[in-house]
A and B are shown apart, each in its own frame.
Chain A
Amino acid sequence: MARMDRGVISDIELRTPAGRLIVGVFVVILVLFGAAFIFPFLFAFTAGLKTSTEIFKPGLHLWPENPNWGNYLEAWNRFNMVNMFKNTAIAAIGGAIGQLIVSALAAFSLSRLKPAGKRVIEAILLITLAIPGVAYLVPRYVILANLPIINVSLINQFAGLWIPYAANAMTILILKNSFDQIPKDLYEAAAVDGASDLRMFVSFTLPLSTPILIILGLLGFIGFWGDYLLPLLILRDPALQTISVRLISLTRIFGANLHLAASFIAMLPPAIAAIFLQRYIRGGISF
C-alpha cells in the first residue's frame, strides 16, 4: 500500500526536469480548464454586483467599479425568492425522500424477500433505464393531469412532481446492490429472534446503509433542485413555481444584473449539497 499514490509518472521522475515539465504543463492546462469551468459562476457573481447600465457597457471589465451589494438584497426581495426557495425545497426534498423510501422498500424486497417473478421485475426496471423519459413525456403528463380510475388532477400539486421523481430504477438497483452486501447471518439471527421483515428493514438494513442513502438523497436533491421540464408542465400557478421555472419567466421583467444576482443565489443550495456529498464520496464515483 506504500506506493498507492503513484500515477503514470513515478515520484522519482517527478524530480527530473522532464517529469517536472510534463506535470507543469498538466497543471497549467488544468488551471486554464478549471478557470473555464468556474468562470460562469464568477461571471454571475460579479455581474450581479453591477448597475443595470454597467452590465451592458462595452469592453472588458469583470469586476464592477462600485460593487453594488444591494443588488443581491433587491433581487431576493423583488423576485420574492423566499417563496421560490420554499417551493423548490418542497419539490426537491419531497422528491428525494419519496425516491429513497420507494426505492429502499423495493430494493429490500428484491434483495432479501425473494418475491416470485423477481427476475421479470428486475428486467422491466432495467428497461426503464434504457428508454429516456422524454420519449413518453406526453402520456406521462396526460396521466398526471388526470389520474386514471380516481380522476384526480395533479396539476399545481407538488405530488405531481413527487410521484414521477420517486420512480428511479437506478436508485433501486444501487440500493439492492448495497443491501446484498449485508451479511446473511444478521438476517438469520434476527429471524430466530422472531423479527418481522419490516423490523429487519428498519432496525439494521437501513442504518447499515446510511452512507449510500445519504449520497443518493443528496444526488436526488441536486438533480430535482435544478429540474426544469416537469415543474414547467406541472406547476402552472406562479405562486407555486420552482426557481428554474420562475427565473425564466422573470427574465423579461427585470434587469440582467438583478437576474444574474438571483441566478447566483439559486446556485447556492446545490453547491452546499455538493460539499456534503464530497464528504461521503471518496475516490470518485464508480458505476
Chain B
Amino acid sequence: MTPIEMTTTKDLILPLKRIQWRAQISAYLFLLPALLIFTLVTWLPMLQTVLFSFQTVNLVKPSVWIGFQNYVRMFGNPVFYTTWKNTFEFILLSLLIGFMVPVLLALMIHEMRRFKSFFRTLAYMPALVPIIVALQVWRSIYAPEGGFLNSVLKTVGLTPQLWLQDPDIVKISLVIIMTWIGAGGTILYYLASLSEIPTEIYEAAELDGFSPLQRIWFISLPLVSSRMMILLIMQIIAVSQTFTEPFILTQGGPGTSTMTPVLQIYNIAFLNSDIGLASAWSVSMLVVLAIFSIVYVRLYNRKEEGDRN
C-alpha cells in the first residue's frame, strides 16, 4: 500500500460520486415542472381542503380555527341527506338503465364483420362533444312545449311529460343523458377486453355444440366480468360526482330533487362564499370517493394478477 495507490483509488471513486449527483440533479430538473404544478394545483389544495374544513375562511382577513363547527352545520342541514339520497338514486338508476347497455352493445359490435369501427365511433361521439353543447340539445329535446320528445308522444297519442320539471321523472331524464354520454367510453373498454379473448375457445365450444348465445353466456361474459366489476365501481364514482347536468338543466330542482353534493359544494363556495363549510362538504365527498377508489384499486390489481396468470 503506497500513498500513490491510495490517491488513485480516491480519484476513481470521487468522479463516480460526482456523476451520480449530477444525474440526480438532471433527473429532478426534468421532474421539476410536474412537481411544482402538482404541488400547486393538486397536493396543496387536497391538504387545504382538510384544513379549511376546520376554519372560517376569509379571503381578505386571516382565517379562524373553529373546530368541528362546519361539520356540525353540515350534518345539521337536511339538504346534506337529500343530496346523498339523490346520489344514491342516481347511482341505482344509472346502473339499472346504463350498466348492461354498453356490455350488450359491445358484444354486438364485436360480432360485426364490417362497419365495426363505424359503430364504435358512433357510440363514442357523445363523449367527444362539449357537454354544454350536448345539454343544450337535450334541453330542446326535453322541452315541455314543442320539444322533440313530447312531439313524438303527442303524435302517437300519449300524454306529454314534464321531463325536467316533474320531480318523479327528472332523475330518469338526467340519467338517460348520463348514459348517452358515458356509454361510448365503456363500450371501447369492453371491446378491447372482448378482442383479447382467444378465438380458439369459441371454436372449441362450437365443436362441442354450444349455440352462439350459450357461447356469449358461458365464455364472453365470464371473461369480461372482472372488467365489469371495475366499470361498475368507476360508474359509481363518476355518478357520485354529478354536477353539470343538474347545474345546467335543473339547478338542482324541482325543489331539491336533483341537488347533488358537488352542486351543493359549488353553491356554498361560489354563491354563499362559505369556503369553510364547502370544504367540510368536500371532505365528506372525499371520504366516500376514497372508499370506492380503494375498492377500485383492489379490483384492478386482482384483474392485473388474473391477466398475468
Residues of A within 8 A of B (CB): 3-10, 13-14, 18-19, 22-23, 26-27, 29-30, 33-34, 36-38, 40-41, 43-44, 47, 55-60, 101-103, 105-106, 108-110, 113-116, 121, 124-125, 128, 130-132, 134-148, 163-164, 166-167, 169, 172, 196-197, 201, 222, 225-226, 228-229, 233, 243-245, 247-248, 251, 256, 259-260, 263, 266-267, 270-271, 273-274, 278, 283-287
Contacts and interface: CB of A to CB of B under 8 A. Distances in A.
Contact of B130 (A163, A166, A243, A251): A243
Most buried by A among B44, B45, B216, B262: B45
Contacts of A284: 120, 188, 191-192, 195
Contacts of B216: 8
Contacts of A196: 26
A278 B117 contact: yes
Contacts of A43: 137, 140-141, 148
B66 interface: no
Given A23-B111, A47-B140, A247-B132, A105 B38 contact: no
Nearest to A124: B43
B33 interface: yes
B145 A58 contact: yes
A206 to B, nearest CB: 13
A40 B132 CA distance: 13
A141 B112 CA distance: 47
Interface residues of B, number: 104
21 contacts: A7-B202, A9-B212, A13-B206, A13-B212, A22-B212, A23-B111, A30-B119, A33-B105, A38-B122, A41-B125, A43-B140, A102-B33, A102-B34, A137-B45, A137-B269, A138-B278, A142-B275, A144-B41, A197-B26, A274-B124, A284-B188
Given A113-B26, A228-B130, A283-B192, 7 more contacts: A8-B215, A13-B212, A43-B141, A59-B154, A134-B265, A225-B130, A273-B128
B108 interface: yes
A267 B42 contact: no
B298 to A, nearest CB: 11
Given A40-B134, A263-B133, A108 B30 contact: yes
Most buried by B among A40, A56, A267, A278: A40
Interface of B: 23-24, 26-28, 30-31, 33-35, 37-38, 40-46, 48-49, 52, 57, 59, 101, 105, 107-113, 117, 119-126, 128-134, 136-138, 140-141, 145-146, 148, 151-152, 154-155, 180, 183-184, 188-189, 191-193, 195, 199, 202-203, 206, 211-213, 215-216, 219-220, 237, 241, 243-244, 248, 262, 265-266, 269-270, 275, 278-279, 282-283, 285-286, 289-290, 293-294, 296-297
Contacts of B206: 10, 13
Contacts of B202: 6-8, 10
Nearest to A222: B128
Nearest to B22: A197
Given A8-B111, A8-B219, A247-B133, A136 B26 contact: no
B132 A109 contact: no
Most buried by B among A19, A134, A201, A274: A134
Contacts of B203: 3, 6, 10
Nearest to B108: A26
B48 A142 contact: yes
Nearest to A115: B27
Nearest to B151: A60
B282 A135 contact: yes
Nearest to A110: B31
A19 B212 CA distance: 8
B121 A113 contact: no
B244 to A, nearest CB: 6
B296 to A, nearest CB: 8
